[in-house]
Amino acid sequence: MPVSGLGASKRPCRPPLTSREQSLTSLSMTERLDSPLRREQIAEAALAIVVEQGLGAVTVRRVAEAVGISAAALYRHYKNKADILRAVLEEHNEIHMANIRKAKASSDAPLEALHHLYLSVMKLVERYRALPVVFLSDVLWFEDKRLKKLKMEHHRITREALVELIAQGQERGEIRTDIRPEELFIHFLGLIAMPAMMLARSVEEVDMDRQTKANWTLFAQAVTP
């Protein structure tokens, strides 16, 4: 079923497309598949399948059906599950890096910027519930070296950006200095990881609003001098 959720309706018969019309249709599909919006739809469709059926159920055919395009059209850009998961990683990283830039621009105070980032990350966790399943999967870590390399590069970029932000907070006296920024970065990741893993499999067990507020309160108290 297409992601839009529109039901099937009875449509008038149309004459077959001419060769030129078929060429234009193919070009249009290619442009849409290359667009950020289409990649976003593919990532969301793949992650919805992971939540409902597990990572093993992700195939080009199922994702194409969910997005509302033909499997053949999708196959021209995504040959297999690894290619689709690569799109998921790239979509997540693009959104995440945009959130980091917005957080830094939101406040001159590093700790407050971290707070803004944490709130945006938790919204992303709710939107893409299956991300922890993908991040911890054997497909990513053992079956496709390209995916592991991509994920590790994304992690490195995130780590550098947040370690720098935490160090700035220490220089300004907002964050305690007896613990290195590298360890505080791991602590920050912990605020995200456990709720995300629980949410990936059991929505009812996590009140994300309350947990997000509680996690930040505890973190802020722990790192403030």
Check whether residue 68 and residue 36 sit in a common domain.
Answer: yes
Are 223 and 176 in contact by the 8 Å Cβ rule? The answer is yes
Share of the chain above pLDDT 90, in %: 72
Report which of residues 99 and 24 the model is more confident about: 99
Q: In which residue are the tokens 């099937």 written?
A: 8
Report the candidate in 95, 120, 126 with the shortest Cα–Cα distance to residue 196: 126
Report which of residues 14 and 221 the model is more confident about: 221
Q: In which residue are the tokens 């992971």 written?
A: 50
Q: What is the pLDDT of residues 144-196, one digit of tens each?
A: 999 999 999 999 999 999 999 999 999 999 999 999 999 999 999 999 999 99
Number of domains in the chain: 2
Instruction: Write down the pLDDT at residue 22.
Output: 41
C-alpha 115/C-alpha 110 separation (Å) is 9
Q: What is the pLDDT of residues 152-164, one digit of tens each?
A: 999 999 999 999 9
Domain containing residue 200: CATH number: 1.10.357.10
Is 1 among the domain residues? no
Query: Three-class SS string for 175-208?
Result: CCCCCCHHHHHHHHHHHHHHHHHHHHHCHHHCCH
Is 100 among the domain residues? yes
Res. 205 pLDDT band, cuts 50 70 90: confident
Is 4 among the domain residues? no
Does the pLDDT of residue 201 top 70, yes or no?
Answer: yes
Res. 211 pLDDT band, cuts 50 70 90: very high
Res. 204 pLDDT band, cuts 50 70 90: confident
Two tokens at 133? Answer: 């399943």
Check whether residue 110 and residue 176 sit in a common domain.
Answer: yes
Instruction: Write down the pLDDT at residue 36.
Output: 52
Domain containing residue 45: CATH number: 1.10.10
Mean of pLDDT over the chain: 85
Q: What is the pLDDT of residues 73-85, one digit of tens each?
A: 898 889 999 999 9
Check whether residue 144 and residue 190 sit in a common domain.
Answer: yes
Rg from Cα positions in the chain? 21
Whole domain around residue 39: which residue ranges? 21-75
Q: What is the pLDDT of residues 48-59, one digit of tens each?
A: 999 889 999 999
pTM: 0.79
Does the pLDDT of residue 93 top 60, yes or no?
Answer: yes
CA 106 to chain centre: 22
Q: What is the pLDDT of residues 3-37, one digit of tens each?
A: 433 333 343 444 444 444 343 333 333 444 455 54
Is 13 among the domain residues? no
Are 71 and 65 in contact by the 8 Å Cβ rule? The answer is yes
